[in-house]
Amino acid sequence: MPLPNPRMSDDPRDVPACRRRYSDQFKQDALRLVTHERYTFATAAQAVGVSEKSLRDWHKKLSPPPEPCGEDASVQELQQENRRLREQLRRAEMEREILKKATAYFASQNP
């Protein structure tokens, strides 16, 4: 009689997910639910059968960068752009600090 395999389970949540590849057209169609149909990320992800994180990652990767506000922009548009630019600056500063630390680390490894 074989011993039970501790890795085997009857619970479907314990089965490792297979890595699936989706076409760019599928990703764009899924994103269209969010951008044009006003679905939430969670609802759109459930509708097309992908994780919400995947959908958000596709949105970051495939969406064109926002256009800067023009001279005739409203206060609300300027505030939104200001928030976006502050977030972009914060991320760039964090990436710069990580690169500085990595450079110092690798420089110390090579005498």
**How many angstroms separate the CA atoms of 79 and 93, rounded?**
21
**Inside any domain, residue 1:** no
| Residue 14 counted as domain residue | no
Cα–Cα distance, 62 to 71 (Å, whole number): 27
Does residue 13 sit within a domain? no
Using the predicted structure, report yes or no on whether residue 37 has a pLDDT greater than 60.
yes
Q: How far is CA 78 from the centre of its chain?
A: 25
| Mean per-residue pLDDT of the chain | 82
Report the domain count for the chain.
1
Indicate if the pLDDT at residue 111 is higher than 80.
Answer: no
Please report the pLDDT score of residue 36 as a whole number.
86
User: Looking at the domain assignment, is residue 56 inside a domain?
Assistant: yes
Q: Does residue 8 sit within a domain?
A: no
Please state the pTM of the whole predicted model: 0.48
Q: How far apart are the first and last CA of the chain?
A: 60
Tokens of 106: 């690798």
**Taking residues 59-63, what's their average pLDDT?**
86
Q: Could you tell me if residue 12 is inside a domain?
A: no
